[in-house]
Chains A and B, each alone.
Chain A
Amino acid sequence: MKSIVKTLTAAALGLGLLAGCTNLPSDSTRLTERTAPITMNSVVFSDYNLSRTWDGGIFGDGERYRLTVAQHGQRATATGTTEVYAVLRNHTDYDYQVEARTQFFDQDGVPTDVKPTWQRLTVSGNSLATYRELSTSTQPLQYRVEVRELN
């Protein structure tokens, strides 16, 4: 009887450890986002607590997220400046206070426009929220939006 209990306990512990291995923490250096190439016209989570992916784990690739980007894009305003938007989706039951900022680049990939500023935003639990940012320049631009949790 004792040996059966011991075996079951060991098996449970082993499963628990393996299950733990399926989730890399946000401070892991093995997260894909840490070394991902910089892409234009994109929205990224600079806070890996909100969203992170990894590959090569015991159970293969993995993903963990609280927020995701439902859609994003840009359009020209009436004065020719660029408006960028990103729709964030909260997959949790809790409201999230986040900050977002947009870095604009010209068509050659050179950073341009005014210095990006963090803008606060609340994404209610299980809801969508839209972040918008305007450029000041009228030239065609590319963008990169960064999202992090509010400190």
Chain B
Amino acid sequence: MKTACALATASLVLSGCASNIDNAKGKPSVYEDVSTTGSVGGVGIESQDVVAVTDKMMRDMMANPLLTGRSTPPRIIIDNEYIKNESTSVVNTNMFTDRLRIELNRAANGRMVFVGRHFSDMVQKERDLKRDGAVDGGTIRKTAAQAGADFRLGGRISSLDAIDRNTGTQSRYSQISFEMVDLELGTIVWSGLYEMRKAARDNVVYR
């Protein structure tokens, strides 16, 4: 009897060990404030930098009388077409232009008009359908052509890297410049510059 009990206990213990299920609680995802440094940070351009840059540029543009002080609101294109990333930071420059355009459009409240040139093919397809009679004319209006723009945003991201071989500390100076160009004259009516230098030893990979 004793032998049978011992065998039963041993087999139960062994069957417990045979399970592949790890029933430990995992580490949950954590939401972080996009405008402050997060738990993972390095020397590259991060969310707080995108927010800070676009916020600064937006406020500065709203205080420029050449852009917002006109009796007829100017038409402006803000897209990624003429923004160049010449820095060593891996960053999608659409994040800058999209946030800037959207925040400006909300804040301007009609003081600037934004031309969606990146949607021009979508607009043209609908215009063609209307003019071919495939669909009716809509309810708003008809225009001879799509809107031409008065100004367009250009810009550049550049950087300068340095590394201390003894400590492994990496330093990166980043410069982000934006310029608003008059699309008839070619003059620059507004400029904005944002610069920062970060140093870190963390082994962070940006993707």
Chain A interfacial positions (CB closer than 8 Å to B): 77-79, 81, 83, 114, 117-120, 133-137, 151
Contacts and interface: CB of A to CB of B under 8 A. Distances in A.
A135 B108 CA distance: 11
A137 B63 CA distance: 10
A81 B62 contact: yes
A136 B64 contact: no
Interface of B: 35-37, 48, 51-52, 55-56, 58-60, 62-65, 68-69, 103, 106-108, 196
B103 A114 contact: yes
Chain A, interface SS category: loop
B52 A136 contact: no
Contact of B59 (A118, A135, A151): A135
A136 B62 contact: yes
A144 to B, nearest CB: 17
A134 B64 CA distance: 11
Contacts of B68: 79
B55 A114 contact: yes
A120 B58 CA distance: 17
A83 B196 CA distance: 23
A119 B103 contact: no
A86 to B, nearest CB: 16
Contact of A136 (B36, B59, B65, B69): B59
